């Protein structure tokens, strides 16, 4: 399996200038290729093929000496990324929007393939005039020889190297347990088993005061000043800290769930649509549902298990015991599901998790063995 291993870099001011030349060339290639594609699509309803993009790059390198002085590999990778972005734009199942032009203050990055870098005690990447030796903070060893590396600087001013490597899947075998999983805001993830539920840490809410303080400080700074640039970095560091907390949290919890359950049924949510609710959008963004499900996919693949997307319609409104739909709509404020037909009384999220179990997916209340009642009829909320 392929995975990304990311490490901090210690970059000097001289090295930063050399890398910035590569970033600038990649931004130039992206913006010009996107401009060509946009004009062709707008006026002729046609686009640029990968071969045509590479031909354009050859022409640009022949006309601009400063562009030709920079290694071609990162520029070729930029065109591949643009092609992937354009394909994603036309994919109806993909929420990605139209590719945008890059600005100088955007996150700077460049990618090198095997012929453009080498790894020993330090990371050597090709720049104008040769290779630059970057000091890497080796927090863990690389599991195999990397196939590519992306060097980037985040908005908080930190430098990173992200390697694509091959890893061995650590399959845990069959555990015999299957569950549905319902994501929410009161409880981050609810399964069929109370001991496997995941609490909502609400990282952004915890950092709200620090973020507000840094944003007020930014608002007081004069536009274009050096102090404003420093204040922007301070705001970015708060966001970066929350992002790091959330990333660590979702991968740890996803790993625990993926190793315990053979199959996990999750809602196939359109999170972009849910964010239009102005009352819940901030809490949904803080929860990071999409990031969690992506981490769950990855951890399940490593464990040799499976995550199954399931249509979320009526999973909250349907009784998981007898399949009867609730006669009165159950709103977000209603935390208990009470079936008027079979008498099941259950936490609404637990009921939804049972409906999301991939082994019970005819949604009629009839199980794979033909039985009518899928879960014991309860008399108290769980």
In a domain, 62, yes or no: yes
Q: Among the listed ranges 105-109, 184-188, 229-233, 260-264, which one has the minimum average pLDDT value?
A: 105-109
Number of structural domains in the chain: 3
Would you put residue 224 in left (φ > 0), alpha (ψ -120 to 50) or beta? Answer: left
Alpha helices in 9-49 (DSSP H): 13-44
> Which of 120, 143, 166 lies at the terminal end of a domain, its last residue?
166
Q: Name 310's bridge partners.
A: 267
114-122's contacts with Cβ under 8 Å and 24+ in sequence apart are: 114/146, 114/147, 114/148, 115/73, 116/71, 116/73, 116/74, 117/149, 119/145, 119/146, 119/149, 119/163
> Which of 166, 194, 220 lies at the terminal end of a domain, its last residue?
166
Q: What is the structure's pLDDT at 211?
A: 94
Q: What is the structure's pLDDT at 361?
A: 56
Residues 33-60: what's their mean pLDDT? Answer: 90
Give the model confidence (pLDDT) of 218-246 as tens digits: 999 999 899 999 999 999 999 999 999 99
Residue 44 has pLDDT above 90, yes or no: no
Q: How many CA atoms lie within 13 A of 143 on its CB side?
A: 13
Residues 6+ apart with CB under 8 A from 179: 191, 192, 193, 196, 261, 263, 264, 265, 353, 357
Residue 364 has pLDDT above 60, yes or no: no
Residues 6-16: what's their mean pLDDT? Answer: 96
Looking at every residue in the chain, the average pLDDT score rounds to 87
In a domain, 172, yes or no: no
Give the model confidence (pLDDT) of 327-352 as tens digits: 777 777 778 888 877 878 888 889 88
In a domain, 257, yes or no: yes
Alpha helices in 64-134 (DSSP H): 65-68, 72-90
Which is it for strands 117-119 and 108-113: parallel, antiparallel or unpaired? unpaired
- Between CA 137 and CA 121 the distance in angstroms is 10
C-alpha distances in angstroms, 127 versus 26, 67, 112, 117, 326? 12, 11, 10, 10, 64
Judge if 49 and 7 occupy the same domain. yes
Answer yes or no: pTM beyond 0.95: no
Residues 200-225: what's their mean pLDDT? Answer: 93
- Between CA 193 and CA 224 the distance in angstroms is 55
- Between CA 335 and CA 91 the distance in angstroms is 37
Range of the domain at 282: 178-310
Residues 92-108: what's their mean pLDDT? Answer: 79
Tell me the pLDDT band of 95, cut-offs 50, 70 and 90: low
In a domain, 173, yes or no: no
Q: Give the catalytic positions in this structure.
A: 182, 267, 349
In a domain, 171, yes or no: no
> Which of 113, 136, 166 lies at the terminal end of a domain, its last residue?
166
Q: Among the listed ranges 129-138, 144-153, 281-290, 302-311, which one has the minimum average pLDDT value?
A: 281-290
Angle between helices 226-260 and 289-303 (to 10 degrees): 40
Q: What is the structure's pLDDT at 119?
A: 95
Q: What is the structure's pLDDT at 378?
A: 42
């Amino acid at each position: 399996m392929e995975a990304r291993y990311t490490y901090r870099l210690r970059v000097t001011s001289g090295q930063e200038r050399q890398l910035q030349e590569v970033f600038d060339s990649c931004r130039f290639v992206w913006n010009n290729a996107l401009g060509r594609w946009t004009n062709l699509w707008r006026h002729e309803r046609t686009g640029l093929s990968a071969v045509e993009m590479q031909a354009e790059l050859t022409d640009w390198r022949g006309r601009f000496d400063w562009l030709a002085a920079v290694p071609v590999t990162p520029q070729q990778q930029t065109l591949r990324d643009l092609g992937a972005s354009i394909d994603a734009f036309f994919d109806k199942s993909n929420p990605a929007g139209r590719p945008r032009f890059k600005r100088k203050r955007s996150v700077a990055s460049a990618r090198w393939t095997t012929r453009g870098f080498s790894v020993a005690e330090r990371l050597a990447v090709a720049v104008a005039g040769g290779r630059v030796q970057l000091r890497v903070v080796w927090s863990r060893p690389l599991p195999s020889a990397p196939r590519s590396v992306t060097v980037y600087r985040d908005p908080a001013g930190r430098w990173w190297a992200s390697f694509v490597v091959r890893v061995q899947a650590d399959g845990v075998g069959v555990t015999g347990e299957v569950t549905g999983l319902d994501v929410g805001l009161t409880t981050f993830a609810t399964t069929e088993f109370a001991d496997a539920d995941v609490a909502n840490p609400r990282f952004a809410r915890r950092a709200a005061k620090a973020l507000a303080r840094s944003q007020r400080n930014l608002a007081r700074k004069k536009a274009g000043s050096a102090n404003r640039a420093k204040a922007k970095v301070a705001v970015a560091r708060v966001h970066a800290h929350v992002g790091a907390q959330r990333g660590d949290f979702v991968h740890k919890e996803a790993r625990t769930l993926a190793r315990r359950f053979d199959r996990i049924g999750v809602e196939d949510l359109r999170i972009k649509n849910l964010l239009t609710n102005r009352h819940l959008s901030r809490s949904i963004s803080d929860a990071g549902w999409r990031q969690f499900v992506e981490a769950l996919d990855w951890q399940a693949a490593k464990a040799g298990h499976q995550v199954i997307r399931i249509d979320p319609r009526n999973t909250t409104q349907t009784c998981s015991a007898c399949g009867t739909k609730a006669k009165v709509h159950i709103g977000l404020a209603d935390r208990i599901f009470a079936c008027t037909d079979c008498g099941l009384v259950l936490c609404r999220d637990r009921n939804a998790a049972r409906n999301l179990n991939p082994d019970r997916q005819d949604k009629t209340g009839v199980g794979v063995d033909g039985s009518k009642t899928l879960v014991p009829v309860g008399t108290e909320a769980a």
